[in-house]
Amino acid sequence: MRTDFLTFSPPLIGEEEIREVVDTLHSNWITTGPKSRQFEVEFASFLGCSACVSVNSCTAALHTALVASGIGPGDEVITTPITFVASVNVIEHVGAKPVLVDVEPDTLNIDPRQIERAIAPQTRAVLPVHFAGHPVDLDPIEELAQNHGVSIIEDAAHAFPSKYHGRFIGSGKNPAAFSFYATKNLTTAEGGMLTGTPDLIDRARVISLHGMSKDAWKRYDKGGSWYYEVLYPGFKYNMTDIQASLGLHQIRKIERFQSRRRQIVQMYNSAFGEEETLELPVERREVEHAWHLYVLRLRTETLRISRDQFIEELQLRKIGSSVHFIPVHLHPYYRDKYGWKTQDFPVAYANYQRMLSLPLNPRLTDQDVADVIEAVLDIVEMYRL
């Protein structure tokens, strides 16, 4: 057994990031300025997207995208119950109504067939979430959106850098919101990015910084003018150059980070693939998974232990794990406001009861991975029916 606790998902920060942050602290500009812009340029170049704007969180990116798309009171937005609540909170923030539909049994992504049945005259957008880094099946959703005249706003918090039919998520015309939280594949500690068409990003950039026509860098840098106008009652969502300093080097390392994530996934799959008590995460042929999360599902009918007890046993063996996510319809605010019942979304609820996320990050050594595998198989053997 391990002597030290294996943290679930620590960031991997190198000396390059540290030096860049120090350089920023020694500079004349620590808030939104030249390094934030450079990070946007490098991010857009990596994805091949036409435009993007850096913000202080994925939540901010989603909220800004909804506002920039003109979604508000009286509108409905279709989304998934298997997501972090930020995906639904932002719909509430703009005064619209979230409409949940169930997920696919294999990927746990939103089910396009359920979306079709949920579209109503009030539907203005679909907000699919690329759960765990596995891209949503976008083609049928885009066909539905086009046929019904609704927008698609992608929650890509887990999806950098995943691909769907050979194209990076976030490289198309749909607004896509990315997260750079401390646990993500690329981190700026806190932070996010919104990609989309140039006209939408132009609106989003104004909305994300108080609705002002010019940011501080444009006003106070050499040759700038103090004068600005407020074009919209916007928000304080800008990314700082301190955060962008981390992102500049994280994005240059992302291919190495992803290679290590895939190695770990292969080690897990090899170890667990023949174990009848465990269901492994999937990767469909048409996608390239970002592997933000490795979500293992217990076949609880074959075990004398619940998911919660399984996690407790992992903790006793000094292995950190988590659950992604408590379905939205189980949270008191949403349950009570919309009258959702536990079994309204049976696929989401059944899978929630048996899922747990194992450590998956590029800091893991082969010995760390071996310790996780040993712990999981030991628990399985101990509690097998």
Note the pLDDT tens digit of each residue in 106-137. 999 999 999 999 999 999 999 999 999 999 99
- 282: CATH: 3.90.1150.10
- 216: CATH: 3.40.640.10
Q: Which residues contact 213 (CB under 8 A, 6 or more apart)?
A: 206, 228, 229, 230, 231
Mapped onto helix, strand or coil, the DSSP state of residue 14 is: coil
Task: From 251, 274, 296, give the residue that closes a domain.
Answer: 251
Per-residue pLDDT band at 217 (split at 50, 70, 90):
low
Q: Which residues contact 133 (CB under 8 A, 6 or more apart)?
A: 158, 159, 162, 185, 289, 290, 291, 292, 293
State yes or no: pLDDT of 214 exceeds 90: no
- Are 341 and 208 in a shared domain? no
Note the pLDDT tens digit of each residue in 51-84. 999 999 999 999 999 999 999 999 999 999 999 9
Among residues 82, 92, 46, the alpha carbon closest in space to that of 193 is found at 46
Note the pLDDT tens digit of each residue in 337-384. 999 999 999 999 999 999 999 999 999 999 999 999 999 999 999 999
Q: What is the pLDDT of residue 278?
A: 98
State yes or no: pLDDT of 238 exceeds 70: yes
- Domains identified in the chain, total number: 2
Neighbours of 238 (CB within 10 A): 22
Q: How far apart, in whole angstroms, are the C-alpha atoms of residue 98 and residue 37?
A: 33
- Are 375 and 237 in a shared domain? no
- 189 falls within a domain: yes
Give the least confident one: 19-33, 80-94, 203-217.
203-217
Among residues 257, 242, 252, the alpha carbon closest in space to that of 19 is found at 242
- Are 134 and 279 in a shared domain? no
State yes or no: pLDDT of 333 exceeds 70: yes
- Are 228 and 199 in a shared domain? yes
- Are 211 and 164 in a shared domain? yes
The alpha carbon of residue 83 and the mean position of all alpha carbons in its chain are separated, in whole angstroms, by 9
| Contact assessment for residue 155 and residue 62, using Cβ atoms and an 8 Å cutoff | yes
- 10 falls within a domain: no
- Are 147 and 242 in a shared domain? yes
pLDDT over 90 for what percent of the chain? 95
- Are 282 and 199 in a shared domain? no
Q: What is the pLDDT of residue 225?
A: 76
> Can you tell me which residue has the tokens 């294996």?
6
Helix residue ranges per DSSP H, 69-111:
86-93
DSSP state of 273: T
Q: How far apart, in whole angstroms, are the C-alpha atoms of residue 177 and residue 182?
A: 16
Structure-block tokens of residue 40: 């946007």
User: Where in the sequence is the domain holding 227, given as residue range(s)?
Assistant: 15-251
- 126 falls within a domain: yes
- 132 falls within a domain: yes
**What's the whole-number average pLDDT of the chain?**
96
Task: From 251, 278, 302, give the residue that closes a domain.
Answer: 251
- Are 303 and 188 in a shared domain? no
Segment 341-349 long-range contacts (CB within 8 Å, at least 24 positions apart):
344/100, 345/81, 345/100, 345/101, 345/102, 345/103, 346/102, 347/102, 347/103, 347/104, 347/105, 347/111, 348/80, 348/81, 348/82, 348/102, 348/103, 348/108
- 378 falls within a domain: yes
**Residues carrying an active site annotation:** 184
- Are 327 and 239 in a shared domain? no
- 92 falls within a domain: yes
- 3 falls within a domain: no
Q: What is the pLDDT of residue 1?
A: 82
Task: From 214, 236, 251, give the residue that closes a domain.
Answer: 251
Greater confidence (227 vs 315) lies with 315
- 9 falls within a domain: no
- Are 258 and 247 in a shared domain? no
Structure-block tokens of residue 76: 């409905």
Whole-model pTM: value is 0.97
Q: What is the pLDDT of residue 302?
A: 98
Structure-block tokens of residue 205: 């950039």
- Are 233 and 317 in a shared domain? no
> Can you tell me which residue has the tokens 């009918």?
301
- Are 245 and 260 in a shared domain? no
